Each structure stands twice: as structure tokens, then as C-alpha cells.
Amino acid sequence: MSRSPNRPAGRKLRLPWRSPFHAAVSISFVVVLAGVLLVFVPDFVANRFLKGRVIASFAEAYPGFSLRIGHMHYSIWQNLLQCDSVLLTTTDSTVSCTLAGFSVSGIGRKQFIRQGIPGPDDFRSAVVTAQDIVFRFPLKEYEIRCGLLHISVPDSEVSVEALTLNPSGDDEQFFEGSRVRKTRVRLVVPHARAVGVECLALLQGKAYRALTAQIDNPFFDVLINKDKPLVDDSSSPPWPNEFLAGIAGILQVDSLIVTNGRLKYGERFAVGARVALITVDSLHVLAEGIANHGDPAALLVIRAEGKLMEAGTLTLRMSIPVASREPTFHYSGSLSRMDLSALDVFLETAEQVRIKSGVLQEAAFEINVASGRASGSVRAEYRDFAIAAINRQTGSEKGIPDAVASFIANTFTIHGTNVPDKSGSLRSGNVNYARKRDDSFLQFSWFALRSGVRDVVGL
């Protein structure tokens, strides 16, 4: 039989129906093979193909970061992806983050396998858990650790366990590297939980919204090395409104509840020396209207109650304009009956003064701060108040030079008792304090109040 004049010699005839048939068979085979591999050797698929997609997609989305992932585990039945370890660093090494374990379930399978990083819609049923998280900030000399982070998108809930903020080394290592004054901060949060969270916006870093957040048994510790000088260009730690303004994205928390907290404020005047301390225990706080935006009338309102120096009950109410970027706020409060000698833990070291006797019946204060200057009044009813100057090194009342003792006696007129007179009026003290360049928010609030206390007692 003669061959067709239009067909080259040696080439077989391809029937038109065979190409789509072969294509369909090939696609079906690949799909079946992928399904078999995902069912029987899911870890092989995850580590051989999926891990590379995730790293490549992350590098494209966040070019300023480097991502490394340890061994991956995937269960198609549970729709659960796990990673043994994760390392995330900035390209300039200013920040690093490690995770000892990471898992995510309930994500969209198709998008994840095809793209490597799911989109926001793929996380609508996701539950994310991370363990032993460590953030390091070498230039800031601090690190953040978190034992457990749990995010449930369906439940609109976020919880953390064993959260800490600490310097990279101990106190001496933190202070000795600087020739100027520094403020060291430590924070311990055993447990915290937020509900009503917009988790998808949170995962995208666009908004931080929650109905309620609760922190249980936190410990906040501040220490200042006053044995070193200030520098002219030193800047103060950000105040609440400055901190909120610096947050990228939208922050809105209707209420924050703190239960059984502890606060410790200290001033150090020599290496290895006794620290001047002020403590507040059994601290309960309710903060409402936390936001980084709002109309001029919007206020962040804080109500707190705790035990001052384990001696008297301190109550506080503070209101901070949300929209203001100026150091402006208002606070007031009261202090219940207490033995004033409980303050010697601070005064003996910070002021070289010892309270010999004195009982506070009650005290109240009202302070307004406008553009960094505090004004207001302090009212205190007390009896039998007496102080003595002491030696800084020995702590003894003896050996104080006559000139110093004479200066104290001639300069200060101590009001030993302050009780209502026959008309019921009580002597009050005037608050007058201007913000220093290195004053933290906590320091400023205390120093302003202390100025009014000094005026009441005649110091």
C-alpha cells in the first residue's frame, strides 16, 4: 500500500483522540501518586516539596528576613502540619526568633500545597500553636521568651504561657556596659488570655483588636543605676501614649484585667549596694479604652488597687487622652492607714533619711499633668511623724556631721502631726514637678506625688 504524500517517511500516524487521552491519564496518575504519597509518606512530601515552597514564598513576601525550618510532619487526615524547629532572623541580624516547636491545623490544603504560604482565607478554621519562642534583640540587650503561644481563629482566642522580658545577662552585665544611667526592666507573665480577638487581622499584622484581655499574677520589676550620670542627649522611655502611637496598625482592646500583680521599683546608688525599693503587691488593675487612635475626647482609663510596701492599701484612677501625643494625663487616688516606717526601705537609701515614728491615718491626692508638668495637691492625716538623718555608708544615725544636722534642722520645718483643726480643715501639700529627660512614666508619676508629700510634711 502506498503511503500518503503528505506524511514524511518514518513518522507514525498519531490519531487526534490519543493526545487528550494521554494527558488525562498522565494528570490522573500524578494526582493519584500525590494522594498516595500524602497518605503513606506525608513527611517525605512535606520535607521534599512543601518546605522549599514555604521558604521561597516567605523570602518573596518578606525580603528583609531569613527563614529556616527543621523537620516537618504532615497528617492529611488531621490536616495538621508540624515543624520541629523554626529560625527567623533579620538580614542585618538585629532581631532573631527561634521556635522549638510549631504546629498549625485547619488550614486550606489546596492553596497551601500549591503556593507554600496560605492566604488569609485559608486560616479561617486554623489553630496555631508555638512552643519555646525566643526573640533576641542584641542591640537592645533584651530578649523575650514565651513557653507557649496558642491562637484559635474559630474561637477568636489567643493565650500565652510563661511570657518573660529580660536583659540578655544579669543586672551587673546590663549596667557595666554603659557609662551613663540606664533603666533595667523585667516582666514575668505566667498566663495571659485574650478573647474576642480578630485573629485573621492579627496574623496579617494589620490590626490588634480584642474584647477582653486578662493577665494573671504578673511581676513588673524596674531598676535604675543612679551611680552613673545622665547624658545630655539621653531620651526617656516612651510613655503610654507614645508607646501606643508607635504601634503599626490598629490597636483596640475594650478592657484589660490584671489580677494579683506585683510591682517593684528600685534605685541603685553603688555597685553591690543596698537598693532603694518601693513595692506594690496584690495589685489588681482594670484598664478600659486601650487604643492608638480615637477622637480628642477618647480616654484610656486605668483603675488599680494594691498593697503599698505590704502596709497600706493604695488606690489609683488614671485617665490618659488617647489621641494626645503630649505627656498629658490626670491621676488621683488614696492610701489607707499604715505605719510610715514601712517607707524606710526606700528612704534610707535614696534620701539618707529614716522615719523614726509616724502613723498615717489616711491620704488622698489629685494630680494633673499638662505637657510634662505636674500640679495638684496631696492631703494626708497623720500623727507623731519624726525623721533622722543617717550615714549613707553605715546607715547609722550617729556620726552625721554637725553641719549637716544643723542644715537639716534649719532648712526643714517638719510637721510632726497633721490632723483636722476645729473647723475641719487639713493642711495640704502642693504638687509641683516638671518632667526630666530620663523620667519614665512610672518614675514621673511617683516623683510628682512625692513633691506633694514633701510639702505636706515640711521637707
Q: Report how far apart, in Å, the C-alpha atoms of 176 and of each of 170, 180, 270, 297, 350 are.
A: 10, 9, 12, 45, 21
pLDDT on residue 410: 42
Whether the pLDDT of residue 204 is over 50: the answer is yes
Pairing of strands 373-389, 207-216: unpaired
Instruction: Name the β-bridge partners of 388.
Output: 354
**CA dihedral angle for residue 318, residue 303, residue 457, residue 421, rounded to 10 degrees:** 110
Tell me which residue has cell 489553630: 127
Position 249 in a domain: no
Position 407 in a domain: yes
Q: Cα(204)–Cα(209) distance, rounded to whole angstroms?
A: 12
Residues 141-160 pLDDT 10s = 899 999 999 999 999 999 99
Please name the amino acid found at residue 85. Answer: S
Please name the amino acid found at residue 440. Answer: S
Whether the pLDDT of residue 339 is over 50: the answer is yes
> How many other C-beta atoms can be found within 10 angstroms of the C-beta atom of residue 441?
19
Residues 119-132 pLDDT 10s = 666 778 889 999 99
Residue 165 grid cell: 522580658
pLDDT on residue 331: 97
Please name the amino acid found at residue 17. Answer: W
Predicted confidence band at 441 (pLDDT cuts at 50, 70, 90)? confident
pLDDT on residue 111: 53
Instruction: Name the β-bridge partners of 146.
Output: 133, 163
Residues 267-306 pLDDT 10s = 999 888 889 999 999 999 999 999 887 777 888 999 999 9
pTM of the full structure = 0.80
Q: Cα(300)–Cα(319) distance, rounded to whole angstroms?
A: 6
Give CA angle at 329 (324, 334), nearest 5°: 160
Whether the pLDDT of residue 362 is over 90: the answer is yes
What range defines the domain where residue 92 resides? Answer: 22-139
Position 359 in a domain: yes
Total domains in the chain come to: 2
Position 109 in a domain: yes
- Residue 321 main-chain phi, psi, to 5 deg: -60, 125
Tell me which residue has cell 537639716: 408
Pick the last residue of a domain from 105, 139, 173.
139
Tell me which residue has cell 519562642: 133
Pick the last residue of a domain from 139, 162, 191.
139
Residue 321 grid cell: 487622652
CA neighbor of 81 nearest in space, from 99, 101, 104: 104
Q: Report how far apart, in Å, the C-alpha atoms of 186 and of each of 28, 161, 210, 440 are.
A: 59, 16, 25, 14
Whether the pLDDT of residue 56 is over 80: the answer is yes
SS3 assignment for the chain = CCCCCCCCCCCCCCCCCHHHHHHHHHHHHHHHHHHHHHHHCHHHHHHHHHHHHHHHHHHHHCCCEEEEECCEEEECCCCEEEECCEEEEECCCCCEEEEEEEEEECCCHHHHHHHCCCCHHHHCCCEEEEEEEEEEECCCCEEEEEEEEEEECCCCEEEEEEEEEEECCCHHHHHHCCCCCCEEEEEEEEEEEEECCCHHHHHHCCEEEEEEEEEECCEEEEEEECCCCCCCCCCCCCCHHHHHHCCCCEEEEEEEEEEEEEEEEEEECCCCCCCEEEEEEEEEEEEEEEECCCCCCCEEEEEEEEEECCCEEEEEEEEEECCCCCCCEEEEEEECCEEHHHHHHHHHHHCCEEEEEEEEEEEEEEEEEECCEEEEEEEEEEEEEEEEECCCCCCCCCCCCHHHHHHHHHHCCCCCCECCCCCCCCCEEEEEEECCCCCCHHHHHHHHHHHHHHHHHCC
Sorted by sequence, the CB contacts under 8 Å of residue 284 that are 6+ apart come out as 258, 259, 260, 261, 304, 305, 306
First-to-last C-alpha distance (Å) of the chain = 125
pLDDT on residue 400: 53
- pLDDT, mean over the chain: 82
Position 220 in a domain: no
Q: Cα(133)–Cα(32) distance, rounded to whole angstroms?
A: 38
Pairing of strands 72-75, 65-69: unpaired
Q: Cα(355)–Cα(343) distance, rounded to whole angstroms?
A: 8
Pick the last residue of a domain from 74, 109, 139.
139
Position 100 in a domain: yes
CA neighbor of 127 nearest in space, from 64, 80, 70: 80
Position 163 in a domain: no
Whether the pLDDT of residue 35 is over 60: the answer is no
Question: What does the longest C-alpha to C-alpha distance in the chain come to?
Answer: 136
pLDDT on residue 261: 97
Kindly state the percentage of the chain with pLDDT values over 90: 39
Position 184 in a domain: no
